[in-house]
Chain A
């Protein structure tokens, strides 16, 4: 067995001069980014990981580090009981808003993808918010009540949800409804991504489906959605990241204010601990969506593979049957010969 394995291994090819030169050029081209990653990502990441365990005070002599272990985390619970609460609310809000944005964007994209006059005009309107959304502008509009759909009674919605769900969930649902327009505003880029992906779906697929009698509804579930699946994942991740860095998000302003607050407990170490909690939550949410939406192969590939496997199996069975048949025939022939030799009829 081991011999066979060795044989199957590819013979090691020595890297040629051309490959080496190409690799060198590749490293050269990516060099600026590598330096940047080391300077602005990896080193700060390690540093902030270190900061997390310390209480840091800034004096004219420089920074003074005081190791306090998980003290920062317990301090967060003592000093800012709002922070963990907000974190939970944030998780609920993201998990609610992302599907809404995705479904809404897909809906709009499908409508725009049909035969529609003035498509450019509608695209212009739906993409407009991308230019505008920035923290302060949104805050202004929200504070003036321009972000609410006027005839929507948010209070009663929250009250209704409060009966069935914990308060944090009801609160996030209420916040989402009261800022419905803002939630929809975040879907500009997603609409364009879906639209451009929809336009690249092979029309022959739809034609074939129509000839086989598929309705529009069936076409959507069996063709559009499976082909859109990678784009849905892309958009989901984009939306999560966008919502996390958005200045409407109270968590990041809390981190900022903790960083520059003068009290003894707070400061860089405390803010780092907050930031790490936040980052872990975001990574988990992204991971969740990736698990839910990402499959390595799309449905068609998987089905085709399954079918091929089945075919192979059948072929194997067929061969086995043929072989068995041959064996059986031989046996019969042998036996018959034996019987002819031994039946003792005395024919010969």
Chain B
């Protein structure tokens, strides 16, 4: 039995990892996964680099940033052999700001961003403090989604907005106490803010970028040998298929609801797994099966996913576009490891 310590942040998109560790998929591959709940992405990155954990549930842009030596820590080149999901994020504004926007319930993200641009201008003319929006980490899909939301309305995230960082489990609370006016975060934290009556979901991820890559599994280059890598990838893939099946969602929701995992009511988690999101307390429901996608090709860490993330990092001004930088960024993604592991799958034909 190979033992692996794997870190995760309490988010629904860690479902495939959590289910792999807890529901026997890892065991079936001869693996024992010890899950470690972490409080911040920076801690996760450092624990990966210093070998406190073997692998991690990680933001794809952070995996690339760390490999390129960006950020304050010594660089560890990471390997991304598995994508945990697609989509799953949303943008939520405080009820106070939502009311100020005076938009109809069925307004689309573009109309809402347009109204938001008016508020931004009004505040600037009045000499008032700019709106404060939160992402979960500078190198994150969430930062990019905020840009996709605001830019068409002419709002510059760097110039017009005060951008701050709030770890996912604290977003609802930060909105409630008025520390921030809105945020982009992964499931279930938008729904938690809605359920507490403090937030209004104004855009869900796939409305802004269809099938946006986000969290991946990462480990320091060479940390897992080929055998362990193959076992982990296959265990995760089995788990991904299981998580994708609606019949399994009630069991998955109660597993994720446990305090040692996410610690949020199973009913809220069930809504996010089903892609049924009430936009505010007692409000209409946004429904799409694409809200949080698991299973099948979703998990292959494709070069398209790597390229999208690289381009978004360039567009956000996080890295300067250069052929050698792009090569180094794309080399983090290892679809070849995924393909080899799947080809060696002794449990399914072929």
Question: Is the pairing of A and B real?
Answer: no
Which A residues form the contact surface with B (CB < 8 A)? Answer: none
